[in-house]
Amino acid sequence: CSVHWCYDSQSQSCGPKHWKEIQSTCGGKSQSPINIDMSNVDRDNNLQHFVFEGYSTVPPGQWSIANNGHSVQVTLDTNVSISGGGLVGKYKALQLHFHWGNGLSYGSEHTINKKQYPMELHIVHMSERYTDIRDALKKTDGLAVLGFMLEVTETDNPNYNTLTDVLEKVSHQGDKVWLSSTFQLNSILPKVARLSQYYRYQGSLTTPNCSEAVVWSVFEEPISISKAQLMKFANTLYFSARGESEQKMQNNFRSPQPLNGRRVSASKD
Ligand code: SG7
Ligand code: ZN
């Protein structure tokens, strides 16, 4: 990754406004995230349903969770993939991670009609047509990232306990644990029937190096978790490594970037 980048909550001097000084790509014309204006999208009949493979069972020992100093990330070390959804061919799932704020009112990266959610989930997939991530990051369709909004409701989402229970073990940068339980990846998503409504646009990674290699799919249906579950992320995790001065991992999101003429498509009216 890049020499030294951060979020504003860590230091103003390496926050998102400075990323393009570290990595010129971050000042490009197809950057992510964006605001999605629902009244200004093109309906696209190619945006049919996704086919999810391996999402129902990630076997024990084939997934790990780590604090990478920017987010908490689940790495998938097994065959999980998506196809359909207007994508060309299959995309293999590599990892998922979250972006969040420090409370209930902001934290997501994408916004829908300027509404920001308290958290956003990203599932990063790489096209099987490319040999490795370095290769994929050079292609405009190298990666397919699925973005899901999280909203807060009264009750816990029991399917999130698998993740929230293990956050203590990865509180600091560099911490990593392998899980010996089965992970039901589909259980942390909205019900499959609600996944047919999504927005599609061409964009980038939302962190340096900001490669403009991402086919984005942002789903309209949010995922519900409780306030306690949300706050567990904001209050258990640190940007900092053990022994460094403690910096809570909060507000690890980038703000919406200019569209620069890009169009957003929608799967349904
Ligand atoms: C997170 O977001 C990490 C990164 C990820 C980045 O900070 O999960 O993952 C790794 C492996 O460092 O970068 C290449 C990549 O997936 C940007 O991903 S995002 O655009 O979906 N937010
Ligand atoms: Zn992300």
pLDDT digits (tens, 9 = 90+) for 11-25: 999 999 999 999 999
How buried is residue 255: exposed, middle or buried, by Cβ count under 10 Å (0-12/13-18/19+)?
A: middle
Kindly tell me if the per-residue pLDDT of 2 is higher than 80: no
Kindly tell me if the per-residue pLDDT of 55 is higher than 90: yes
Q: Ligand 1 pocket by C-beta < 6 Å: which residues?
A: 68, 70-71, 73, 95, 97, 122, 124, 145, 205-207
CB atoms within 10 A of CB 147: 24
Query: What six digits make up the tokens of 40?
Result: 């200004």
Task: Scan for tokens 């807060």, then name that residue.
Answer: 152
pLDDT score recorded for residue 269? 64
CA of 204, closest atom in ligand 1: 20
The CA distance from 165 to 157, in Å, is 12
Kindly tell me if the per-residue pLDDT of 214 is higher than 50: yes
CA of 1, closest atom in ligand 1: 12
Who contacts 76 (Cβ-Cβ below 8 Å, separation ≥6)? 58, 62, 63, 93, 94, 95, 96, 185
Alpha-carbon Rg for the chain in angstroms: 17
| pTM across the whole model | 0.98
Whether the Cβ atoms of residue 256 and residue 113 lie closer than 8 Å to each other: no
How buried is residue 12: exposed, middle or buried, by Cβ count under 10 Å (0-12/13-18/19+)?
A: exposed
Quick: pLDDT tens for 61-99.
Answer: 999 999 999 999 999 999 999 999 999 999 999 999 999
In percent, how much of the chain has pLDDT > 90?
97
pLDDT score recorded for residue 268? 83
Q: Best substitution site from 30, 95, 99, 124 to test ligand 1's pocket, by max atoms within 8 Å of Cβ?
A: 124
Quick: pLDDT tens for 148-162.
Answer: 999 999 999 999 999
In a 3-state reduction of DSSP, which class is residue 135?
helix
Secondary structure element (H or E) that encloses residue 225, with its range? strand 223-226
Q: Which residue has the least CA distance to atom 18 on ligand 1?
A: 205
Quick: pLDDT tens for 106-120.
Answer: 999 999 999 999 999
State the DSSP code for 233. H
pLDDT score recorded for residue 207? 98
Residues facing residue 127 across a β-bridge: 91
Whether the Cβ atoms of residue 113 and residue 37 lie closer than 8 Å to each other: yes
Annotation says 130 is catalytic:
yes
Who contacts 149 (Cβ-Cβ below 8 Å, separation ≥6)? 108, 110, 112, 117, 119, 120, 218, 219, 222, 223
pLDDT score recorded for residue 194? 94
pLDDT score recorded for residue 154? 96
Kindly tell me if the per-residue pLDDT of 1 is higher than 50: no
| Mean pLDDT of all residues in 206-218 | 98
| Mean pLDDT of all residues in 191-215 | 97
What is the whole-number distance in angstroms between the Cα of residue 269 and the centre of ligand 1?
31
The CA distance from 43 to 36, in Å, is 13
> Which is it for the CA torsion 180, 184, 187, 188, positive or negative?
positive
**One-letter amino acid identity for 233?**
F
Query: What six digits make up the tokens of 264?
Result: 């957003």
In percent, how much of the chain has pLDDT > 70?
99
Q: Nearest ligand, CA of residue 121? A: 2
